Structure formats: structure tokens, C-alpha cells
Structure 1
Amino acid sequence: MTTAQRLPASLTPLDTALAAVLRDVAAVTPVELALTEALHCIAAEMAPLRAHPPQDLAVTDGWAMRANDLVGASSYAPLPLTAPPLWVEAGSTMPTGADCVVDAGAVDAAGPIAQVLAEAIPGQGVRRAGSDIAEGRTVMEAGRPVLPRDLLLARAAGLATLRVRRPRLRLINIPGGEATAAFIADAARLAGADVIRSDAPGRDAAAIAAALDASADLIVTIGGSGVGRIDAAVAALSARGEVIAHGIALQPGRTAALGRIGTTPVVALPGAPDHAFAVWWALVLPVLDRLLGRGRRRTQALPLARKIASTVGIAEVTLLARLQGSWRTLAIGDLSLDAITRADAVLIVPGTSEGFAAGTDVDAYILRE
């Protein structure tokens, strides 16, 4: 007969559990990835770029000239040219000394001497050297997610790869948590991880332990962390490595567990989607962000439309929606899937707090980038 997992008499405070699992976790070594593979990864330090374009280019078809030579020219006072003008096509390099492009109709070349019929200003019809990419700048700041607009800049600079951090996250689904596993896998890829997904062959401790492959930078299990008769994820973790905490003072998500196999941190998520979502934000993302070398996630401070009441001793995950310049509470502690999909931000109320009064400015993590 299998002994059921049990939670300790007192739950581990969230900040204590997080500090323990983050101990000795450092950013992974950067790798060079093709541009399309680098999307959503976290940028590492990059070499400075050369100016782009490297020289002045014509952006319109027309006559390449020097603006100072055209002062006073008009259709009423044509300005004769001492030398034939040079024609340039859009995208071609500007001739030495030319600093503007005038329209074809602004030059009368019908007679023996060409005449200019209009003035121009320096830079007219010209893309200056370094105007798209300044000399010495980088594609992007280290620690930020690679976005499509960053790839546009990289391609313009002629780069084929980017230097990024992409930690390997091994996601192990324990039978029964398929929907939650798919959700966490998608979230992890979007966060910049290289997700290696596998399924435990069963829910017993031996089957789960066999799936706990430590050849990754972070291991996340889905399901089996509760205290039911067939929950055995924590027993499997204990057999393969070290259990740091089982039972976190977090609502929802109190049956989550933390551990380590060798030097690889392990987070055991509950199988319920709302509990997994809470533990993902409270525990998994901070570990993943440390491995990614990511900068602080985007937050926004707005006043609360209504007060938030919280239980002292338990960190509570709160979902917020932005409404007329304030945060409106959608759910606290008990998260419906509807609230998760409609939320604009997430706030973790500390276990030391009783909540926040209406009108209090709270800094919440933005869910919708």
C-alpha cells in the first residue's frame, strides 16, 4: 500500500521558499541562434554595430546636387548649372559632395545648359549615413526579450545570428495534467526557454522518478504534488534528489513543492490550471528569469478601485484588470479560468500584508505585453 504524501504542519513562507530555490542559480551561458530561433529569447551582451546605412543613400529618384548651390533658384529665376547634374535612383549611393536629391521636373535639361528651377534643403531625398543604425549601438539591451522589431534591426545590420540566453526547461507531465502541461509549456517558450517535454509513464513514485532527467537547467513537473492517494511527485523528487519545501504559503498553489537534483532546481506544480498559474508566477518565473539573465519584468502602478483584503501568513495571487486609470480586482486567491484569460496584470499580495485599501497605488506585473 502506497503512503500518501503529507504537507508539513506549517507551510513554508513564499519568500523563504523562493530564496532557497534561487540559491546558486545563475544565468546560463549565451548561445548564438539564427534570428528566427532567437525570437522571444533573452538577449545577452552583443558587439556594437557599424553604422547603417554606411554612407548617404538616395531615397527617391532624381538629380543629386548640393543644396547651397541652389539658393535662389525658381521657375522665374532659373539657375544655370556649370556642370551636368548626376541622376540617382532610389537606394543608390550619393555622389561625393551631393547632399540632396531634387525631383526630375526641378531641372530643365532641354537646352545646351541645364537649369535648376527650385531650391532644396540639405538632406532632401537622402537617408544619411547612420540614420537607421548609429555607429556603436547594439541590436538591443541585454536582458530584454527579443521582439520582431529587434529582428528587423538585426537583418538591416546584416546579422544572421543573435547572442541570447535560452535555458533548457524540462517539463514532465504526470498523467492527468495534460491541459495544464500544454499551458505551462507555451508560457515557458514565450518566456524564452527551450522546452523539452516528456510524460511520466505512471503516477507512482518509481515512474515519476524515472522521468526526472536532470540534464536541464530547470525541471518543472505538472501534477502529483497534492496529498491524494495517487500523488507521488514529492516522493519521487526525494528519491532522486533533495526536497527543499513541500507546502508553500501561497493561495492558490499551497501543495507546490521545490527541490534540487544535483545543481538543477526542481519546481513541482499542482495539476489544476489555476494553481499551476499561481505557482508559475510566484516561483517558476523568478527561477527562469535568473537563468535567462532577464531584467525586471514590466510593471504598472495604478490605484485600486476597491480594497483588497488578504489573509496574513498566506501570499495570495490577485488578478487585476485595467479600468479607467485604476486596477479592478477580478479574483484573489481563487482564480477562475475566465479571470486568468481576462486579466491585464497579476499582483502577489505578501503574506505579511492584510491587503490594500481602495485608492492605494499597487505595482502589478503586466500580463499583456
Structure 2
Amino acid sequence: MNRTQPSNGALTSLESALAELLEGLVAVAPISVPLGEAASLVAAEMPEVAAPLPARNRATIDGWALRSLDLAGASSYSPVPLPGAPEWVEAGASLPEGCDCVIEADLVECHGPLAQALAEAVPGEGIRRAGEEVAAGLPSVISGRSLSAADLLVARAVGLDRIAVRSPRLRLIDVASNDGSTLTARLVADLAGAAGARVTTATISREAEAITGVLNAAPCDLIVLVGGTGFGRTDATVAALSMRGALIAHGIALQPGRTTATGRLDATPIVALPGAPDQAFSAYHILVQPLLDRLCGRLARRGIVLPLARKISSGIGLTEIALVRQEQSGWLPLAVGALSLDHIRMADAWLAIPGGSEGYPAGMPVEAFPLRAS
């Protein structure tokens, strides 16, 4: 393995660290889950829709099922006698043979066996044609995309009760903080779960031997450690990775998140996040999220491009994470490089400012990636 661990205090470039983590990484095998457990997971390939939905023309309103040609010229001033007794249908019912429209109840007058129409209709009025909801041969789900309520609606409508998804196993190792806080580990677990991972969490003491003992305790697709990546007397995470021969880099040119470490245990990538929430938040989005996206087989994430409401300044040499909020038709910068909990809570999106850039001027269109579902 081509180790990129820095020496003499040098920082590993973000691009180099991420490229080595992604090298050789492929999407995990699909698993089948009930539709009730599939929301937000990433869909895998599924068979195409076998039969059109609906299978036959259906009424979309309660009313009279008729043939549009029989209504030509009809109006309230000039009713048109119908050739036969009209048939009443409820919304959702299949249309009788030969009918191509449904009109409302008060547009037909019935006098014993005789009936007359008081309005015209065009073919397709008041109905849903066969295959108009979902055509046969279309994908039952869109692979590589997170399953939304609308995706699950279609899956149920075409008769599915289970669905294939890709959901990588993430082992989260919470290296116990000195004050006993679990805020950062819970943040990472929430973020990874929302990204489609199956997260198992273990809390371990701040000792290198204890950490090495749980690194490969059970099979997984990605290992994320939280805490103990600094240079304090009780920080042992990096030493543990080194003892196992798993360390690739310690010290990433990223702000916040400089003490992040990366590694690999056999084929399993490892990211060790700092214990501070803002630093872990930053390193998660720039390093862990791309790994989960690759493991899930997720389609490329698309940011939202809007002009900056005011300039962003950044130092040369470090990739800096900026948080922004959408105001009117632009991005308003909230914080760059130093992120408070309030900034994280108020932000709508994040963006990375490359290490070679001094920032962006006001009015410049920039791509930011949403932090919320809507």
C-alpha cells in the first residue's frame, strides 16, 4: 500500500487522502428489505414493471361513463339524447368496454329509460388511461437513488412488498471522551444512518490496546472512529491504528478537522474523526460521505449553484469547509473554517473551498451541498 502518512508535521492533501480511501472500493451487494424499512436507503437494481398501471382505463371522478362521440354538440341549451342508458362509475373503477370518458353527475339527465347529455367531453376526460400511471417496462425503482415516499408509493402500487437496497455496514467506534460526552458519536451515527448505512456503535476506553482489540471485532464495510486523534496525553487512536499497521495518514489539510486520520484494515477503509463536533462534522462530509456513497452505489450528489450574498475569505494551503444559508436567491455565508453548533444548526448547505483558493467574491455562483432533505 502506498502510505501517505505525513512526516515532520506536514499535512496530507485532502485529495490524496480521499483518493487512497476510495481506491478499489466498490458498491456492496444488495440486500432485500421490507418496504416499511426502505425509506432513505439507496435502491439497487430491480426488475422492470411487468404490467402497466392501471391495467385498464379507470375513472378519476365519480360520474357517468360514456363514449365522447355520443356527446358531440351537447349543451344545456341543446341536450343530446344518448343511444343507451349510461353507466355510473365510482372513482378508481375500470371503465365499461367502449367508454372513453367520465362526466359529472349533473351533466346527464335521466327520465326513465331515456337519458340526455348536457355537455360535451373529449376522449380521456375524467379517466386515467391504461399505463398512464406507470408504463410496463419502466424501472420499478431508480437504482442509485435514495428511496423517497414517492418511490415507495410506486413500489406498493406495482405490487412490491420488498425492495433491493445497498446499505453498507458501518462500525462506529466511540473512543470515550474525557468528560464522558457522546455528542459527536451520536452526530456521526445520525449522519451515517441518514446516508443509508447500517450503523453499529461500540464505546471503548482511550487506550491503544483497547482500540486495536475492537478494530476488526466483526465484519463491516467501513470503520469510523470518533475521538482521540489529537496530540494530547490521552489521545491513543492514531497509535492504535499504527500498531495494527492500518494507518495511512494522520493530519489532513482540512479546516476544521486537521487531526483526522485515515487508514485501511485489509480491504476495509478507516476514517478516524476528531472528537470535537465541528471537526467531525467537517471531516465526515468531506471524507466519510463519499465512501458511503461509493459503497451504496449512489448516483453522484448534485449541489445547488447560487451566487454568494457576500464574499468568502479563505487561507491558502487548507481546504476549508464553509456553511451557508439560502436567502432569497443566493447563499449567505455563516461560517468558514470554524463552525459553532449554532452555525451547524442554522446552515442549509456546505461547500469546500480548495486549498489553493483565497475564497470567492460576492456574487460568484458556487455549488453547495444541501444538509437537509428539503
Task: State the distance in 1 between where 2:241 and 2:130 align.
Answer: 59
In structure 2, do the counterparts of structure 1 residues 108 and 365 end up closer, same or farther at CA, with 3 Å as the change threshold?
Answer: closer
- How far 1:51 sits from its partner (Å)? 1.7
Could you tell which deviates more after superposition, 95-104 or 264-273?
95-104
- How far 1:259 sits from its partner (Å)? 0.5
- How far 1:256 sits from its partner (Å)? 0.7
- How far 1:203 sits from its partner (Å)? 0.8
Q: Is the 8 A contact 1:172 1:219 kept in 2?
A: yes
* Amino acid corresponding to residue 206 of structure 1 in structure 2: E
Task: State the distance in 1 between where 2:305 and 2:59 align.
Answer: 46
**What whole-Å deviation, never above 9, does each CA across 1:156-214 have from its counterpart, x for those lacking one?**
222112221111111111112511000110110111111111111x1101111122135
Aligned counterpart for 1:225 among listed residues 229, 244, 257? 229
Q: Is the 8 A contact 1:223 1:270 kept in 2?
A: yes
- How far 1:319 sits from its partner (Å)? 1.1
What residue ranges of structure 2 are gaps of 5+ in the alignment? 1-5
- How far 1:324 sits from its partner (Å)? 3.3
Task: State the distance in 2 between where 1:76 and 1:250 align.
Answer: 77
* Amino acid corresponding to residue 210 of structure 1 in structure 2: G
* Amino acid corresponding to residue 291 of structure 1 in structure 2: L
Instruction: For 1:193-208, list aligned pairs within 5 A.
Output: 193-200=197-204, 202-208=205-211
**What whole-Å deviation, never above 9, does each CA across 1:46-70 have from its counterpart, x for those lacking one?**
2222321111112233322101012
Q: Is the 8 A contact 2:323 2:344 kept in 1?
A: yes
Task: State the distance in 1 between where 2:267 and 2:31 align.
Answer: 21
Secondary structure of the structure 1 residue equivalent to 2:369: strand
* Amino acid corresponding to residue 16 of structure 2 in structure 1: T
What residue is the counterpart of 2:47 in the other structure?
Answer: 47
* Amino acid corresponding to residue 47 of structure 1 in structure 2: P
In structure 2, do the counterparts of structure 1 residues 312 and 78 end up closer, same or farther at CA, with 3 Å as the change threshold?
Answer: closer
Could you tell which deviates more after superposition, 182-191 or 345-354?
345-354
Find out whether 1:237 has 2:248 as its counterpart. Answer: no
Q: State percent identity of aligned pairs.
A: 52
Task: State the distance in 2 between where 1:335 and 1:267 align.
Answer: 20
Q: Is the 8 A contact 1:7 1:246 kept in 2?
A: no
Task: State the distance in 2 between where 1:349 and 1:105 align.
Answer: 64
What residue is the counterpart of 2:174 in the other structure?
Answer: 173
**What whole-Å deviation, never above 9, does each CA across 1:65-92 have from its counterpart, x for those lacking one?**
1010121234444433333322322222
Secondary structure of the structure 2 residue equivalent to 1:340: helix
Instruction: For 1:65-104, list aligned pairs within 5 A.
Output: 65-104=66-105
What residue is the counterpart of 1:211 in the other structure?
Answer: 214
Q: Is the 8 A contact 1:171 1:220 kept in 2?
A: yes
Q: Is the 8 A contact 1:143 1:295 kept in 2?
A: yes
- How far 1:7 sits from its partner (Å)? 7.5
Count of equivalent residues: 363
Q: Is the 8 A contact 2:246 2:264 kept in 1?
A: yes
In structure 2, do the counterparts of structure 1 residues 301 and 105 end up closer, same or farther at CA, with 3 Å as the change threshold?
Answer: closer
Find out whether 1:317 has 2:318 as its counterpart. Answer: no
* Amino acid corresponding to residue 161 of structure 2 in structure 1: A
Task: State the distance in 2 between where 1:323 and 1:203 align.
Answer: 43
* Amino acid corresponding to residue 275 of structure 1 in structure 2: Q
In structure 2, do the counterparts of structure 1 residues 302 and 105 end up closer, same or farther at CA, with 3 Å as the change threshold?
Answer: closer
Task: State the distance in 2 between where 1:111 and 1:120 align.
Answer: 23
What residue is the counterpart of 2:60 in the other structure?
Answer: 59
Secondary structure of the structure 2 residue equivalent to 1:132: coil
TM-score relative to the length of structure 2: 0.91
Instruction: For 1:1-369, list aligned pairs within 5 A.
Output: 8-49=8-49, 50-176=51-177, 177-200=181-204, 202-213=205-216, 215-369=219-373
* Amino acid corresponding to residue 142 of structure 1 in structure 2: S
Task: State the distance in 1 between where 2:309 and 2:60 align.
Answer: 51
- How far 1:236 sits from its partner (Å)? 1.6
Q: CA RMSD in A?
A: 1.9
Q: Is the 8 A contact 2:185 2:226 kept in 1?
A: yes
Could you tell which deviates more after superposition, 284-293 or 117-126?
117-126
What residue ranges of structure 1 are gaps of 5+ in the alignment? 1-5
Task: State the distance in 1 between where 2:182 and 2:140 align.
Answer: 38
Could you tell which deviates more after superposition, 142-151 or 182-191?
142-151
Task: State the distance in 1 between where 2:72 and 2:235 align.
Answer: 85
Task: State the distance in 1 between where 2:314 and 2:97 align.
Answer: 71
Secondary structure of the structure 1 residue equivalent to 2:320: strand
Could you tell which deviates more after superposition, 106-115 or 283-292?
106-115
